[in-house]
Amino acid sequence: MLLGVNIDHVATLRNARGGVEPDVIKAARICNDAGANSITTHLREDRRHINDMDVELISKLPRTVLNLEMAMTDEMKSIAMRIMPHSVCIVPEKRQELTTEGGLDVHGQLERACSFVKPLLAAGIEVSFFIDPDISQVSAAAKTGAQFIELHTGRYSEEFGGEKEQQTFEDLKGAAVFAQNLGLKVNAGHGLNYQNVKRMKEIPNLHELNIGHSIISRAVFVGLKQAVMEMKELVI
Ligand code: PXP
């Protein structure tokens, strides 16, 4: 499995003081050196952490595979078409939420999703939809022409160690296998940490995990390079 490191929260820390430290670009370089297979950033409508300049600079970094998370808006589409990241992951976005709380409803807006991804795919950008482990959402994502889905692991992460862990895990596994049978490649992420990530290996053929908060949190104590290396060890 590949490891994508989400560095949004390096920018959260920087923005807490409105200055330039910690340097987000340096963070991307360190993650690369520690073995990250891609760097993920979520350019939010309110720019609460990552900003346009960050994305621009990361996209130009040598040896860097940029995965741009973004909402399904015209503004984000034109940014992606200009910056040309390796991949985009289309996520739902609400202004008030602390983080991306659930998956995108692709099923309920299939026509819009299809026309949204068309120019991105035509430009050679890989497209992924961030969805809940729900069969109707997986089927809809497959109809858009996107090559990937990213399964939202938030419920599994919340239930980990509790009564509903197994059920939420089976939901993920079932959705992943169903998606792969439709020809989709499957990524996963949200809320994964150094403990609950281990079960991701039980899901066959997961392509990549995107992990942010737990790695940046661990980095406070052991440094970013070490935190990424430890996660990479668990994901491989
Ligand atoms: N994948 C997606 C699509 C996300 O929106 C996020 C959070 O920004 C993540 C993965 C990473 O989640 P976490 O920070 O909880 O590891």
- From first to last of its 236 residues, the chain has per-residue pLDDT tens of 999 999 999 999 999 999 999 999 999 999 999 999 999 999 999 999 999 999 999 999 999 999 999 999 999 999 999 999 999 999 998 766 666 678 999 999 999 999 999 999 999 999 999 999 999 999 999 999 999 999 999 999 999 999 999 999 999 999 999 999 999 999 999 999 999 999 999 999 999 999 999 999 999 999 999 999 999 999 99
Q: How many CA atoms lie within 13 A of 84 on its CB side?
A: 6
Which ligand 1 atom is the nearest neighbour of the CA of 213? 14
| Distance from C-alpha of 13 to C-alpha of 194, rounded to nearest angstrom | 21
Cβ-count burial of 110 within 10 angstroms (0-12 exposed, 13-18 middle, 19+ buried)? Answer: middle
Phi-psi region of 124 (alpha: psi -120 to 50; beta: other; left: phi over 0): left
DSSP state of 112: H
Which ligand 1 atom is the nearest neighbour of the CA of 69? 3
pTM of this structure: 0.96
**If you search the block for the tokens 């060890």, which residue do you land on?**
233
18 C-alpha to center of ligand 1: Å? 23
Instruction: Give the helix ranges, DSSP H, for 44-198.
Output: 52-60, 74-83, 110-122, 135-143, 154-159, 165-181
Q: Are 125 and 87 in contact (CB under 8 A)?
A: yes
Length of the chain: 236
Around ligand 1, the residues with Cβ closer than 6 Å are 6, 8, 42, 69, 89, 91, 99-100, 130, 150, 189-192, 210-214
Distant-in-sequence, close-in-space partners of 148: CB < 8 Å, separation ≥ 6: 87, 89, 126, 127, 128, 129, 184, 185, 186, 187, 207
| Distance from C-alpha of 55 to C-alpha of 66, rounded to nearest angstrom | 8
